Structures are given as structure tokens and as C-alpha cells.
Chain A
């Protein structure tokens, strides 16, 4: 008897707690899910796209997602430690790619570019990473460190300012037009992997990303500096009491994030071949989205988030929108990506791998 009363109470209180917003959210979830299911079903049933085509979409998505993931690492690491979104990160990516362009053309003119492709690629990578790291450290020193104790909105505004400063400084230095990277002859055409043709540039991007991510993960999880980094992320004050030099760790975090962004810049240039002063903006926004999607502050989360976002962008428009009879679905690529972000955040507010953050961290 008592049990039924309690159950009724619980039921009633559940009913009372249900607000208009909850209803709306549930309705929204149901609507988006229904659209996705109906669209996917319609597309697959139409049979317009063969199996290999879907495989191509997957590979395009993964390679685009790898670049997002590499940039997202920088966002997520800085956030994990400083609880601050480094909006200048996309432009650090641009600085790396753009400066490495000059190294690439110099090598090309000297005829070394296609004679020693691995060596040239290494040189270009080093130049890009070194540039990105120096710019990031400069930004940290000038725009963020003096504001470390300020309210959280202040460094955010400072970051946006730094972003504009870098963009227009590069525009002043290198001009407002775009530049075209020389092409590696070795990376033209396709490789056959298990009977599937993969564009060589994309294979390089995916492999390089996997290597870089593994190295980074080992660095954070297995080295003393990585442990210190995680300690600072856990609690800055306690970490400094334990004898960790917090400033040094923050500088290392910026440097590692920027190095990943610099590498991403070169990989991006390998695939797309064009660089210009505003090129960091959209990948930056997308990578930030990827970081949030994966759970900001979480390194494997950033990797997953980047891959998911790349896949949504590549497969989503055709899988969902084409089936719904929407013409020219790729115009709505960003709509798909951001709707998916909203969906993931509705179901898991802290992102795919994000843990529920304590009040201080959030």
C-alpha cells in the first residue's frame, strides 16, 4: 500500500517537474531524429548511390575530420588548463600553413621538392610547427598571461582581438591574395588499400594524424610533464603547492597545441593547396565545434569530435537531406554539422567523452 503511494508521488512529482522547455526539448529531439531516420531510409531505399560511393564519402569525412581533430586538440588542451577558449588558435593554424608555403616554394624552386619528398615534407612541417609555436607563445605572453587573474570574459575578448591582429598582420605581411602550394608528384593519384582506392594525400593526412595523436596522447599520459599538465588541469593551486611550475606548464600546453595546429596547417595545404590570410577562420570555428562535440577539455574527445564532425559534413547532407528531397544539399553542410552538435549536446550536455565537470571546472 505504502509502496503504491510513494510510486504515485514520484510519478506526480515527475509530472509536476515537466516544464514547457522539457516538452519542447523532447519534441525537438523527436523531430530531428524522425527527420534523420526518414531521410536516411529514403536515401538508402532510392539506391542512387552505390557502396563504393559511401566508402568514398567516409574517407573524405575522415580526412577532413583529421584536420579538424588536430586543430581541436589546441582548443581543448588550453581549455582544460586555463578554462579559456583561445579564439586565436585558428589563426595560429593559418600562420603555420602560410609561412610553410614559402619554405615549400623555396624547396620547389631549388628542385628538391620532388626529389626528396619525405625530407621536404619534414622541412615544411618543422617550419610550420616552429612558426605556429612561436606565434602561440607570443600571444600567450602578450595577450593572455597578464590577464590570468582577470574575470574569465576578459581573456576571451583578448583572444578575439589577438585573432584579428594575427589575421591582419599576415595580410599586411603576405598580401590579401591567396597562394598556391606546389604539388608533390608522389602524392598524386590513389593508393589501393584492401581493394579500396584512397587518394594519396588523404592517406597521408590520416596516417600523419594518427601518429601525431598517438604521440600526443602518450606525452600527456606517460611523461612527467604530461602528468604535471594533468595536475594543473585538475587544480592549479594545489599543483603549484606540489612544486609544479604552473607558468611553465601553461607555456608547454600552448606550444604543444600550436605544434599540432602547425602540422594540421601543412596537412590542410597538402589536401587543398590554397593558403590565404583568412583561411584559419572557418577551420578554427569547426575545430572549436569539434572540441565541444567531443567534450571540451578532453583530449581523446577532441579527436573523436573532429572525426564525427568531418563525417557529419561529408555524409550528412547526402544521407539525410537528399532523402528528404532537398535540392543542392551540400549548401546546408554547416546546418547538418551544427544540428548534430546541438543534438549531441541535448543528449549529452558535456559532449561525447566529457565528464560532468565540477562547479569550478565548468
Chain B
């Protein structure tokens, strides 16, 4: 009986203590180390040690091609840079799974590592929504090579995202290009969209729908599925009842493959045009979609030499030499630029003491990254906005003429697969 009576006050006491503890823990105190004073913390790299950069990307599972592609971009950037102020660069990383839970796990692991100077990631916007605030609470600034959801860099994103930037385009741009292509080039009047509930897919599907309507088109229905769904025929049958000419489904590889394969099997959709986006822009998608991918469209970063210039061609040669194959997805160059931007910012703010140790202020590094202006990267000339959009967005539309993953070599011209057709 006594125990019972004590239970409630005890529970209350524990909750209060936890709340008090939670209030005090995440604030990183101002620190002075060596020659650097920083309001949120300083990283010291002792002489002979290396500067640690961490990635949090999806490097396992069905969407691994997206993260591995970006990781290779970072590795090539490190090869090119070799050292920062005489200190070698060390790359560590975590798989982030392309979902919110994975993002939290990866960010929490990295946040507990005091040596991490800056992070590159995440791959999927759903990981960044909960993950980026965790890193920033630990004072780690992160640059994403492939998050494209508009809300991550929206004006109302809140102070939790103060340490978040991206070199990938904002999907407000991609949605617009997709809608323009559909209306002006394909002359399509009615379209339907499918998203999977992730911030990326929902944001992009809405951006497409808004622009499509603005250009005088009709959206017959905006549907949603779960990323783990396999049977898309019911939802496709529902879409078919609106008789659209085109379906835009900016989702990920596994579910995208199911939609692509099953769309042609549904009565009324045999002649509908299919269009997906950068989330499925990978040879793995050819495997998932099979022959059904032939003739479908993708919106994705423009990877043609005409758009990116000879620096990209040189990058591709290094890639081919180092990994023996063509890039696996669309964001290797963005990752290269993210890494290079971080290296430049570190060089701007890092200070050395008389003993030869290196000190990097975390807030100073964040400010230096946000101050990036006119940075000449592989993807173009990058200038960061106040809310962390750094990209020089160039979006193209590609068509698939084959379903053979081995032929994957995106670009413009004969022999390129998929082939750029717009703009």
C-alpha cells in the first residue's frame, strides 16, 4: 500500500528531473581553446591527427545507389584536396536508411563524436527533418548533397536548422521544370501525381501540381502510397478513372519500380506517359522497373557536358578510374561540391597555435559556410542564401530508351542512357 501511494509522487519527481536534465544537456557552452573562442564550441585537431569529416547517407538497402553515389563524390573531393592546412582529411560515416528513424540514428551517432568537424548529408529529405537539428545541437554543421524538399530551406524552417545547408537544388525548381516539360513539350493536358508521404516526394509532387495548374493543365488526382507498399494496382486503377495523360511519381526506387511495372497492367493506363524524378534516377531503378521503364521520363540534375562544362568531364574520368563504372545516381557532383565548400570554409576559419595544433570554431565554420558566395564548383557557381540553399540549379528531363542497368550513362547525345531531351 505504501509503495502504491509513493508511486505518483515518484513518477512526477522523475519526470521533472528528466525535464530539467533535458533542458540543460543540449546547450553546448561557449569555449575557448588555443587561439579560438567560439560561442558553441571548438574542435581541436592535434598535430599529426586528421580533420574528420562525416557523411550520413543511405549506403545500404534498396536506395543505396543514392548514398554510395554521393559518398564517391566526397571521396574524390578528398583525393583532390589531399590536405587542409597540412592536416590530412579523414572520412567517417553512417548509413541513414532513407527514412526518419535511420536519420535520427545516424545523426545521434555522429553528434556524439566530438572530433567531427562538419557533416555531409543526408541523402533523403525524410532523414534531414529529424536528423539535422540533432547535429546542430551538437554544433555540427551539415551540407546535404541530395535533399531537395522545399521545406528544409523554407523561410520558416526554424532555428533548429541553422546548421543546415544544401548543394542540391530546391524542388520548387524541379517541380517547375517537370510541369513546363509536360505542358509545353509533351503538350499534356491532364496529369496525376503519386507521393509516398516523405517530405521529398510530397513537396515535389505538390510543386509539380501547382505549376502544372498554373500552366493551364488539369490535375486529375493526387494520390499517396506508403514507401513499403507493393501492390500499386488499386491506386493506379483509381488514377485511371480520371483518365490522365501523364503520371508524375517522384518517389524512391523500390516503390517506383512497382508503380512502373504495374502501371502498364492497369486497364486505361496502357498509353499513359510515366515520369519520375531524381529519387529513382539510378541504374538500380532499371532493375526494379524492368522493361516497363522504356519510354518513361525522369526529371533530374542536368549532367550533360553542355550544362556543367569540362570540369564535370574531368570529374567523370576520375570517377571511372577510381570505381570502374559510371556514377550510380545524380548527386555525386553535388557531394563533391559540398565537400569542397566545407574544405574552403575550414581553411577560412581554422587557426593554428605555436605547437602546430589546429583549432576550428563551430559557429565560425557555420557562418563561413553560409557566407559562401560565387564558389566555383562542378555543378556551377554556388552562392548560399540565408536559409541554406546553395545550389546553382540546372534541371533536365531525360528519357529512357533501354532497361539495361549496364548501359546507364546519363547525358545528351547518341549512346547516352538515359538521354537528356529537355531543355
Contacts of A330 on B, CB cut-off 8 Å?
A: 223-225, 229, 234-235, 238
Q: Decide yes or no whether B409 CB sits under 8 A from chain A.
A: no
A176 with B234, Cβ < 8 A, contacts A183-B290, A273-B290 known: no
Q: Decide yes or no whether A155 CB sits under 8 A from chain B.
A: no
Contacts of B226 on A, CB cut-off 8 Å?
A: 331, 333-334
Contacts of B288 on A, CB cut-off 8 Å?
A: 178, 180, 274
Contact with B along A307-321 (1 / 0, CB 8 A): 000000111011000
A49 with B241, Cβ < 8 A, contacts A56-B267, A180-B290, A282-B228 known: yes
- Could you tell me which residues of chain A, from 249 to 305, have a CB within 8 Å of some CB in chain B? 271-274, 276, 278, 282
Q: Are B230 and A272 in contact, CB atoms less than 8 angstroms apart?
A: yes
A276 with B62, Cβ < 8 A, contacts A60-B231, A180-B287, A180-B290 known: yes
A177 with B62, Cβ < 8 A, contacts A53-B241, A331-B226, A333-B226 known: yes
Contact with A along B350-362 (1 / 0, CB 8 A): 0000000000000
From B223, which residue of chain A is reached at the shortest CB distance?
A: A328
Q: Which of B26-34, B159-167, B253-261 contacts A (4 or more CB under 8 A)?
A: B253-261
Q: Decide yes or no whether A197 CB sits under 8 A from chain B.
A: yes
Q: Decide yes or no whether B222 CB sits under 8 A from chain A.
A: yes
The listed residue (B60, B223, B237) touching A57 by CB distance below 8 A is B237
Q: How far is the CB of A179 from chain B (nearest CB, A)?
A: 8
The listed residue (A61, A177, A315) touching B61 by CB distance below 8 A is A177
Q: Decide yes or no whether A48 CB sits under 8 A from chain B.
A: yes
Q: How far is the CB of A265 from chain B (nearest CB, A)?
A: 13
Q: How far is the CB of A335 from chain B (nearest CB, A)?
A: 11
Contacts of A271 on B, CB cut-off 8 Å?
A: 231
Q: Decide yes or no whether B101 CB sits under 8 A from chain A.
A: no
Contacts of B228 on A, CB cut-off 8 Å?
A: 282
Contacts of B225 on A, CB cut-off 8 Å?
A: 330-331
Q: What bracket does the count of chain A residues touching chain B fall in?
A: 35 or more
Q: What bracket does the count of chain B residues touching chain A fall in?
A: 20 to 34
Q: Decide yes or no whether B284 CB sits under 8 A from chain A.
A: yes
Q: How far is the CB of A183 from chain B (nearest CB, A)?
A: 6
Contacts of A199 on B, CB cut-off 8 Å?
A: 265
The listed residue (B60, B222, B230, B284) touching A328 by CB distance below 8 A is B222
Contacts of B235 on A, CB cut-off 8 Å?
A: 330
- Could you tell me which residues of chain A, from 53 to 82, have a CB within 8 Å of some CB in chain B? 53, 56-57, 60-61, 64
- Could you tell me which residues of chain B, from 187 to 237, have a CB within 8 Å of some CB in chain A? 197, 222-226, 228-231, 233-235, 237
Q: Decide yes or no whether A52 CB sits under 8 A from chain B.
A: yes
Q: How far is the CB of A337 from chain B (nearest CB, A)?
A: 12
From A201, which residue of chain B is reached at the shortest CB distance?
A: B265
Contact with B along A155-198 (1 / 0, CB 8 A): 00000000000000000000011111001000000000000010
Q: How far is the CB of A195 from chain B (nearest CB, A)?
A: 13
Q: Are B231 and A314 in contact, CB atoms less than 8 angstroms apart?
A: yes
Q: How far is the CB of B350 from chain A (nearest CB, A)?
A: 37
Q: Decide yes or no whether A327 CB sits under 8 A from chain B.
A: yes
The listed residue (A52, A60, A180, A282) touching B233 by CB distance below 8 A is A60
Q: Are B222 and A327 in contact, CB atoms less than 8 angstroms apart?
A: yes
Q: Decide yes or no whether B40 CB sits under 8 A from chain A.
A: no
From B234, which residue of chain A is reached at the shortest CB distance?
A: A314
Contacts of A331 on B, CB cut-off 8 Å?
A: 197, 223-226
Report the separation of the CA atoms of residues A197 and B197 in the bound assembly, to the nearest whole angstrom.
32
Q: How far is the CB of B227 from chain A (nearest CB, A)?
A: 11
Q: Are A176 and B60 in contact, CB atoms less than 8 angstroms apart?
A: yes
A274 with B222, Cβ < 8 A, contacts A56-B237, A64-B231, A180-B288 known: no
Contacts of B254 on A, CB cut-off 8 Å?
A: 178, 274, 276
Contacts of A317 on B, CB cut-off 8 Å?
A: 234
Q: Decide yes or no whether B64 CB sits under 8 A from chain A.
A: yes
3 tightest A-B CB contacts, nearest first: A328-B224, A331-B224, A176-B60
A-B contact pairs, 18 of them (CB 8 A): A53-B241, A56-B233, A56-B266, A57-B237, A61-B234, A176-B61, A177-B62, A178-B284, A178-B287, A179-B287, A180-B287, A180-B288, A183-B291, A274-B230, A313-B234, A314-B231, A329-B238, A331-B223
On A, residues with C-beta under 8 Å from B are: 48-50, 52-53, 56-57, 60-61, 64, 176-180, 183, 197, 199, 271-274, 276, 278, 282, 313-315, 317-318, 322, 327-331, 333-334
Known: A50-B241, A64-B231, A274-B258. 4 other contacts (CB 8 A): A176-B61, A177-B284, A178-B284, A327-B222
